[in-house]
Amino acid sequence: MWGKKKDELLKQGLDHFENGRYDDAIQYFRKQLDEDPSSAEALFHLKQAKAKSAPTYSWTCKDCKTQQESSIFPETAGSAEMKRGMEAEMWAEIADSVRDETCKSCGREASSSIYLCENCFEDYIAFVTFTDKGRGATSLSTTFPSCPKCGHRQKLAEDKPKHLVKRYRAMLEKYPATKAFAEVIRKSGVLK
């Protein structure tokens, strides 16, 4: 019975997706994840359906504290795959989008890695990094916000339940460029 129900939820979600009914597809993929939180297939398709719905995210400028609203897609960062691969190993999650942003008020530049919340699958969490240059050195400062919908905070890979790390490993198969960078990072030992 479980296998039939599981396949049926995924099948219905895919049918809605293929017919352009993205909101309906999203609901079926979420139901699948409720039934089986380790389903990489449902999460992959949920992320694809969410991308079709033109989502936005909010971030706050470090300098002028102005709230910004930006589109999540299309991706704008030139080094997106490299950054995604490094963060994938750190968070055991694959960023949905990596964007370079400029504050509309003061011109401050930032880079954002945006993740669909792994807890509620409804809103996005954006890690915004600001580069500070001065006195011959460069430093990074990153904001680590919670999900606006459910309050969830992303956990490091080492602190996640095993089934979520397993789901992440299965998701990597759908993102070959990210997988390649993640393997380089893992083998290098940079994150130890």
Same-domain pairing of 6 and 19: yes
If you write DSSP's letter for every residue of 56-92 in order, what string do you get? EEEEE-TTT--EEEEE--S---TTHHHHHHHHHHHHT
pLDDT the model gives residue 1: 34
79 and 112 fall within a common domain: yes
CA distance 122 to 45: 14
Whether residue 150 sits in one domain with residue 105: yes
The reported pLDDT for the residue numbered 140 is 64
Tokens of 114: 């945006």
**Which DSSP state fits 105?**
T
Taking alpha carbons only, the member of 136, 117, 135 closest to residue 126 is: 117
Question: What is 167-183 written as a DSSP string?
Answer: HHHHHHTT-HHHHHHHH
- pTM for the predicted model, two decimal places: 0.83
Task: Give the count of domains, the chain.
Answer: 2
pLDDT in tens, the chain (192 residues): 344 566 789 999 999 999 999 999 999 999 999 999 889 999 999 999 999 988 898 889 988 999 999 999 888 887 888 888 888 888 899 999 999 999 999 988 888 999 999 899 999 988 888 876 655 555 566 777 889 899 998 888 899 999 999 999 999 999 998 999 888 888 887 766
Q: Are residues 88 and 108 in the same domain?
A: yes
Q: Are residues 13 and 59 in the same domain?
A: no
Of 162, 149, 175, which is closest to residue 30 (Cα–Cα)?
Answer: 149
Token pair, residue 99, equals 């964007």
Residues 109 and 156 in one domain: yes
CB 120 within 8 A of CB 51: no
Residue 48 shares a structural domain with residue 59: no
Name the residue range of residue 37's domain. 1-53
Cβ-Cβ contacts under 8 Å for 182 (sequence gap 6 or more): 85, 86, 88, 89, 172
Q: Report which DSSP code applies to 157.
A: G
Burial track 128-143 (b if 16+ CB lie within 10 A, e otherwise): bebeeeeeeeeeeeee
